[in-house]
């Protein structure tokens, strides 16, 4: 997938300097069976992907799931991602029945405090050679 303009596979956009976000990407990679591609929100590829879909480029407080036909943010994105993971994680998708405002309230608390609670990197993650094809910005 050489260009970020056309999405043929689900792409997760994440805060590349956030330790929690990077840990979440590792967690997903271990459980998604290759379903997702990834790009840090700070990357040119993510910004191009967002702008080509006429979406705001100030989504650094949220995980973004870009699918071929839709874009999801915050708890909607997290629950849809969980639905594609192996093990019992798809059960988490049941929380989609809760009002988005309630789900996002808790999501926003974690997002607001993620650097304080989990730390921050000086630069975005660099994928290992084995995982390079899973990242749009590698």
Question: So what's the pLDDT on residue 126?
Answer: 67
Q: Which of 54, 55, 76 is nearest to 65 (CA)?
A: 76
List, for residues 77-88, the tens digit of each pLDDT value: 999 999 999 999
In a domain, 16, yes or no: yes
In a domain, 5, yes or no: no
Inter-residue contact 119 to 21 (CB < 8 Å):
no
In a domain, 102, yes or no: yes
Whole-number Å distance between alpha carbons of 83 and 89: 7
In a domain, 138, yes or no: no
List, for residues 45-61, the tens digit of each pLDDT value: 888 888 887 776 565 56
Domain that includes residue 122, residue range:
11-127
In a domain, 3, yes or no: no
In a domain, 33, yes or no: yes
Asked whether the predicted pLDDT for residue 15 surpasses 70, the reply is: yes
Whole-number Å distance between alpha carbons of 50 and 59: 9
In a domain, 132, yes or no: no
In a domain, 133, yes or no: no
Number of domains in the chain: 1
């Amino acid at each position: 997938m050489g260009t970020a303009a056309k999405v043929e596979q689900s792409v997760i956009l994440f805060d590349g300097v956030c330790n929690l976000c990077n840990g979440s990407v590792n967690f997903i990679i271990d459980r998604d069976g290759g379903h997702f591609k990834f790009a840090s929100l700070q990357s040119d590829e993510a910004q191009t992907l967002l702008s080509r879909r006429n979406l705001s480029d100030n989504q650094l407080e949220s995980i973004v799931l870009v699918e071929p036909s839709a874009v999801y943010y915050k708890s909607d994105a997290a629950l849809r991602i969980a639905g594609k993971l192996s093990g019992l994680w798809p059960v988490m998708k049941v929380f989609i029945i809760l009002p988005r405002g309630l789900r996002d309230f808790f999501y926003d608390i974690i997002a607001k405090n993620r650097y304080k609670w989990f730390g921050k990197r000086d630069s975005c993650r660099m994928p290992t050679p084995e995982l390079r094809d899973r990242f749009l910005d590698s």
